[in-house]
Amino acid sequence: MSDIRFDIASLHAAYRSGTGIAEVIDTILARAEAAGDPGIFIHLATKAAMLAEAAALGRFDPVAKPLWGIPFAVKDNIDVAGMPTTAACAEYAYTPDRDATVVARLKAAGALVVGKTNLDQFATGLVGVRTPWPIPRNAIDAKLVPGGSSSGSAVATARGIVSFALGTDTAGSGRIPAGLNNIVGLKPTVGALSTSGVVPACRTLDCVSVFALTVDDAYAVFSVAAAHDSADPYSRDIAVQPLTARPPALNVGIPAKADLKFFGDASMRAGFEVALAALEAHGARLVEIPFGDFYATADLLYEGAWVAERYAAIRDFFEANEAALHPVTRKIIGGARTLSAADAFRGFYALQAYKARLAPVIASVDLFCVPTAPTHYTVDAVLADPIATNSRLGTYTNFVNLLDMCGIAVPTGTRDDGLPMSVTLLAAAGRDGLVAAVARDLHAASGLHLGATGWRQTIARPAAASAEDGIELVVVGAHLSGMPLNGQLKDLGALFCRAARTAPSYRLYELADQIPPKPGLVRVGSGGAAIDVEVWRLCADAFGRFVAAIPPPLGIGTIELDDGTSAKGFLAETAGLSAATDISAYGGWRSFVASANAPRRQLENAPSV
């Protein structure tokens, strides 16, 4: 069998060096056979079909087609023209004559569909065992469940049969299988990827997700697939930011210690603590958040409104073919028959109340970090108690789409018992790039191999944000990442570019009578110091709105940086320095704030820089 790596960068490098796509196709088929797992694929394309699809790509051109020759699998509730869609129910099967919008976009970018993957029937479950086909085997430990509902997609990716795979995520189906198979699971903002051509579970919550071996690959696929689709009434025009370096300081919400749930799994608790330590090592400030309302929101998902929505999605088929459904799926969806419209509205009202209550909590931090799953379950344990085990797996996933958050599951290490450890980073809608940037750093820090392939990570430097189509803004104080006013930049769609220092010709002052506390940067020429700053980028309209709101004595001027470049940024009027304190000796506002309890006499006697 070929040893070609299937992460996107490696595979494209192989194509450049002369590897033919026929050899890649042979490798796909050989790896699928070597897996010895009949539960991964419900439909696997023939070699002839793959070769015909590859021939239509034309010559290798990763600029025109950024996913040229990249093989991917598709969860079998997403349409691929000419391949049957079953939703893991043979009696439901049909063969579409057109691709789902997301598949069409990926094909147009050069990606190669290899087959349709197994799932929890009608995407109802987080365990991966609710299928009339053989149960896919967890790629890391065959005793464990593979996770669902996107079980086959996760296993195919983890085994290196494909470079990436599409799943769907309503309650965690794009995150739980990733966490259990040592891969990345990107759950985008709801509506960012079209669900046109997707068999619905809950149309108001469904989203297409991406499984990949690396964060860079998952985000590259997301960037290609994301677009508004007029054919999908739930589609949204979500701006896809480039995956650049993360801000150096972030406030990360974590469940309060008293609210953490691991159901007796001490190894998962310990693994989570290690992941939090890695976040802190990358400059994160951890903020404990009471999680009771998040859990209460999660509980709504399998009550009234959203159970009824699952029933509505397949009602006609259900009533005509009830016996065809998996027993657990039939029990869950059939429960909607006893519900009334009043039950549904009760759920809507409860959700709205939780949204209102949690909105300021979500806005109070940059992102959240939670365990992807609270524990691991064996196949035998889930088959013995299918409802309770499934519910527990959704502890940290079920509330996410209800609260309109984006997220990404990322491997962070190996537990003390050898099983995979994963956390999920969550943020408000539209901040997909932020959670991905932080996830990339965590994955790199873990030193893990990719999935179950044995391939080592290839660590790439985060891309610097381009100044094209935007205006760079130098921030020095309360607008720095992790500081109280940083949210004003993010609300305007600002993108972090880089940490920097000014040329050594400035003085930094703590301004008097400012709430929140603010510094003032003043150019002095001789006798100046180099001051730590950050450079962010805004579109011209946002820059104008931001500048218009700046209060005196602050204003915008040109700031010279120590690398010889310059950009617009915050400067203080000298008239506003009355009663201000020179804090230049600290080298920057962040260092000064960290030392805020230092006696003032130390500051006054500090040597000049």
Q: What is the pLDDT of residues 221-276, one digit of tens each?
A: 999 999 999 999 999 999 898 888 888 899 999 999 999 999 999 999 999 999 99
Inform me whether the pLDDT recorded for 22 exceeds 70.
Answer: yes
Residue 597 confidence (pLDDT): 45
Q: Could you identify the residue written with the tokens 């060096």?
A: 17
Phi, psi at residue 319, to the nearest 5°? -70, -30
Predicted pLDDT at 432: 96
* CA 337 – CA 149 distance, rounded (Å): 23
pLDDT at position 462, please? 67
Buried b (16+ CB within 10 A) or exposed e, 379-406: bebbeeebeebbbbbbbbbbbbbbbbbb
Query: According to the model, what pLDDT value does residue 600 have?
Result: 36
Residue 606 — pLDDT band, cuts 50, 70, 90? Answer: very low
Do residues 441 and 282 touch, judged by C-beta distance below 8 A?
yes
* CATH topology (fold) of 471-604: Hypothetical upf0131 protein ytfp (3.10.490)
| pLDDT recorded at residue 324 | 96
Residue bearing the bigger pLDDT, 512 or 21: 21
Own/partner pairs, 331-340, CB within 8 angstroms, 24+ separation = 332/124, 332/302, 332/307, 333/122, 333/124, 333/307, 335/307, 336/307, 336/308, 336/310, 336/311, 336/312, 337/311, 339/304, 339/307, 339/308
- Asked if the model's pLDDT at residue 174 lies above 60, the reply is yes
**Percent of the chain having pLDDT more than 90?**
84
Angle ∠(500,503,508) on CA atoms, nearest 5: 85
pLDDT(378) > 80: yes
Q: What is the DSSP code (8-state) at residue 120?
A: S
**Structural tokens at position 267:** 């190894």
**Residue 498 near residue 440, CB atoms below 8 Å:** no
Owner of token pair 């946002």: 542
In this chain, the answer to whether the domains covering 8-248+370-446 and 471-604 adopt an identical fold is no
Residue 314 has pLDDT above 50, yes or no: yes
In Å, how far are 138, 331, 560 from 379, measured between CA atoms?
Answer: 10, 20, 61
Nearest to 252 by CA among 366, 91, 386: 366
pLDDT at 602: 33
- Edge to edge, the sheet with strand 554-560 lists 495-501, 532-538, 471-475, 566-572, 554-560
pLDDT, tens digit, for every residue of 556-579? 999 999 999 999 999 998 888 888
How many residues comprise the chain? 609
- Is the separation of the CB atoms in 242 and 466 below 8 Å? yes
In 3D space, the residue among 493, 556, 502, 548 whose CA is nearest the CA of residue 524 turns out to be 502
Distances (CA, A) of 562 to 497, 501, 531: 16, 6, 9
Q: Which fold has domain 8-248+370-446?
A: Amidase signature (AS) enzymes (3.90.1300)
Average pLDDT over residues 511-516: 86
What crossing angle do the helices spanning 21-35 and 47-55 adopt, rounded to 10°?
Answer: 150
How many C-beta atoms lie closer than 10 Å to residue 288's C-beta? Answer: 13
- The pLDDT, as a whole number, for residue 303 is 81
Task: State the pTM of this model.
Answer: 0.89
Q: Where are the domains of the chain?
A: 8-248+370-446, 471-604
- Catalytic positions are 75, 149, 173
Whole-angstrom distance, CA of residue 78 vs CA of residue 225: 14
For residues 253, 256, 257, 263, the Cα torsion angle rounded to the nearest 10 degrees is -90
The pLDDT-based confidence of 17 (bands split at 50, 70, 90) is very high
Rounded-to-10 torsion of CA 305, 311, 312, 314: 160
Angle (CA) 275 280 285, round 5°: 120
Rounded CA gap, 231 and 268, in Å? 42
Q: 285 near 310, Cβ under 8 Å? A: no
Give yes or no for residue 492 having a pLDDT over 90. Answer: no
pLDDT at 516: 84
Look over the chain and give the mean of its residue pLDDT values, rounded to a whole number: 93
